[in-house]
A and B are shown apart, each in its own frame.
Chain A
Amino acid sequence: MNRKYYIYIFTCTFLVVFFSCKHNEGEYHNLNDKIKAVSKTYHGTLSSEVLIDGIKTLEITEGEHTFLIPERKSQIKSFACIECHNVGLDKLQSKDIKKAHWEITLAHADENTMNCATCHNGADMNSLNTLTGSKVDFNKSYKLCSQCHSSQFEDWKGGAHGKKVAGWAPPRASYTCVNCHNPHDPSFKSRWPSRYNTEQVEAPQAESGH
């Protein structure tokens, strides 16, 4: 009688404990292991090609990274430049010609480091030139930036710096430097936030002053 009782209690306890154990998948020790293991058989199907449809892009290969960047020349209002710059720059500097590009002031590094000619080639306005004077296409203006901003360039190539054109899904299409930074004034400016971080519950706290 007594023994039966004990067996009964034991069984009940066992059942309760058994069912209360959590059944986790627990295959991997941590998230990194899981990512590494699962991605070995990666064959993604989702594509963001539809999203970048209608945006002119060109493919570039830098180091081990190959990706798309937006085409630039068609975005520049008065390209090709030689339509105006058909003569040498020195000849355009006379006072009686209507001024173009008057709104551009260079706020990029300091005067000792940079001036217009650091990037623009007075003799061939249709393309840019590097510090050593070799030609760079307007579409690949990032090559100029990368001369000084090498760490940013590394990050950009990998994807840690900059933004994607449309989506996360392959093929990768990243904005290039000049899509976010004005090359003549590249820094982000101080401004008011576009919305305040206020929840109503916190409003009284905000009023009482910080």
Chain B
Amino acid sequence: MRRFKVFKNLVIDSLDTITKGSRKYHIWMAFLTFVMLVGMYCYSMQLQHGLSVTGMSDRVSWGLYISNFTFLVGVAAAAVMLVMPTYVLKDIDFKQSVIMGEGIAVAALIMCLAFVIADMGGPSVLWHMIPGIGVFNFPNSMLTWDVIVLNGYLFLNLSIPFYILFRRYQGKVPNPKVYIPGAILSVLWAVAIHLVTAFLYQGLQARPFWNNALLGPRFLASAFAAGPALIILVLAVIRSFTSFKIEDKTLNKIAMIVTVAAQINIIMLVSELFKEFYAPTHHSESAYYLFFGLDGKTALLPWIWTAITMNVIATAILTIGKLRKNLKVLYFCCALLFVAIWIEKGFGLIVPGFIPGPYGKIIEYLPTKIEVGVTLGIWAMGAFVFTVLAKTAIGIELGKLRYKKKTS
């Protein structure tokens, strides 16, 4: 009973915190709300007219939504890079940032689920997928695996930080025996969510572009570059706008992770390119389309070459230790890397899987405005969720939010 009371107070306090803030904070939140509303309007159009308002067709049947979904699963998985050293290896540096990492994971997962729902043709019958009520094609369908791991991961990433913050809120010390097993599990789980998402594509013999053994590992490498890169950027923002203290040492350690992951990612990219272009077969056509265009169809060329250039530049700079330690350069590289991987893993992965089609037909894909609107709306929602979570968490971590503080 008492716990409920504490929880009620926590909710009230956090509502209190998130509605108060500087002018910049309010502008930020208002902006996000506006974008979300635009997104909702676009989605209502999509509900009304069907998915024909998107740029997708029978030939390219997955587009921007699934691209973003794939990318964000990676971002969510990358939270583990912070969880592992903090909770398991007891590396003290990460302790402040890990809550942020998990917050990002939660926001990313919510966005993932939103993107999947936005992509559905019949969101009203989504209950068919709920085990017990509907029919769940487990274990045959990789999508059911993905549903399980994503929701499980969401639960883990909600419950662990919640437990820690809940204890701190009451002024108590969290019990490691409770959260460490959860943390270990979430480490394994994070790898699982991303591998399973890769298997979603990898297991399709119909699409040779995806059907290669390197896809899973490459997903992990790119995720562990893009995710922590985003965390660095977020921490940088938090550092400059709040009194939450994050040491340079922490940022440098995360930068190290980003660097190694980005390097591995590049190695794998080279390996993939070698395989596709040294001895090209019929199955290399998607790669040809992606990198050089096929039959004069070149919609993806500017995107992929921008991505690769950004990727290589960022990795090269990060590799040089001196430059990496310069925070401004680091932020720049992280931003480059984040955008590069977003393009590479989103557009650069999903769309060419469908081009050329099973019978060699090349129909290009360009997202429509409505599709872009929904996508931006979902991103805004993610940012909104994260801001709310982070503001509460920072409040608790800084000791501003405490149970019974008002009464005492």
Interface set of A (CB-CB < 8 Å, partner B): 19-22, 199, 201-202, 205
Inter-chain contact A205/B363, CB cutoff 8 Å: yes
Inter-chain contact B139/A20, CB cutoff 8 Å: yes
Closest to B138 in A: A19
Inter-chain contact A201/B139, CB cutoff 8 Å: no
Inter-chain contact A22/B139, CB cutoff 8 Å: yes
Complex Cα distance, B361 from A22, in Å, reads 33
**B57 contact set on A, CB distance < 8 A:** 201
Closest to B361 in A: A202
Contacts A199-B58, A201-B58, A201-B59 given; indicate if A19 touches B139 (C-beta within 8 A). Answer: yes
11 other contacts beyond A22-B139, A201-B58, with CB at 8 A cut-off? Answer: A19-B139, A20-B139, A21-B139, A22-B140, A199-B58, A201-B57, A201-B59, A201-B363, A202-B361, A202-B363, A205-B363
Complex Cα distance, B174 from A26, in Å, reads 52
Complex Cα distance, B236 from A125, in Å, reads 102
**A202 contact set on B, CB distance < 8 A:** 361, 363
**B361 contact set on A, CB distance < 8 A:** 202
13 pairs, CB–CB < 8 Å, chain A vs chain B: A19-B139, A20-B139, A21-B139, A22-B139, A22-B140, A199-B58, A201-B57, A201-B58, A201-B59, A201-B363, A202-B361, A202-B363, A205-B363
**A20 contact set on B, CB distance < 8 A:** 139
Write the nearest CB–CB distance from A120 to chain B, whole angstroms.
48
Interface residues of chain A: helix, strand, loop or mixed (majority): helix
Closest to B181 in A: A5
**B139 contact set on A, CB distance < 8 A:** 19-22
**A199 contact set on B, CB distance < 8 A:** 58
Chain B 103-135 per-residue mask, 1 if CB under 8 angstroms from chain A, else 0: 000000000000000000000000000000000
**A201 contact set on B, CB distance < 8 A:** 57-59, 363
**A19 contact set on B, CB distance < 8 A:** 139
Complex Cα distance, B300 from A104, in Å, reads 61
**A21 contact set on B, CB distance < 8 A:** 139
Complex Cα distance, B57 from A19, in Å, reads 36
Closest to B363 in A: A201
Write the nearest CB–CB distance from B294 to chain A, whole angstroms.
13
Complex Cα distance, B139 from A19, in Å, reads 7
**B59 contact set on A, CB distance < 8 A:** 201
Complex Cα distance, B139 from A22, in Å, reads 7
Complex Cα distance, B363 from A202, in Å, reads 8
Closest to B52 in A: A200
Tell me the residues in window 1-59 of chain B with beta carbons closer than 8 Å to chain A beta carbons. Answer: 57-59
The 6 closest A-B pairs by CB, nearest first: A201-B57, A20-B139, A19-B139, A201-B363, A22-B140, A201-B59
Complex Cα distance, B363 from A199, in Å, reads 12
Write the nearest CB–CB distance from B268 to chain A, whole angstroms.
26
Closest to B145 in A: A20
Write the nearest CB–CB distance from B296 to chain A, whole angstroms.
10
Complex Cα distance, B139 from A21, in Å, reads 8
Write the nearest CB–CB distance from B284 to chain A, whole angstroms.
23
Write the nearest CB–CB distance from A92 to chain B, whole angstroms.
58
Complex Cα distance, B366 from A201, in Å, reads 12
Chain B 51-71 per-residue mask, 1 if CB under 8 angstroms from chain A, else 0: 000000111000000000000
Complex Cα distance, B58 from A199, in Å, reads 9
Complex Cα distance, B57 from A21, in Å, reads 34
Complex Cα distance, B58 from A187, in Å, reads 37
Complex Cα distance, B139 from A201, in Å, reads 35
Which of A19, A21, A22, A205 is most buried by chain B, counting CB atoms within 10 A of its CB? A205
Write the nearest CB–CB distance from A145 to chain B, whole angstroms.
37
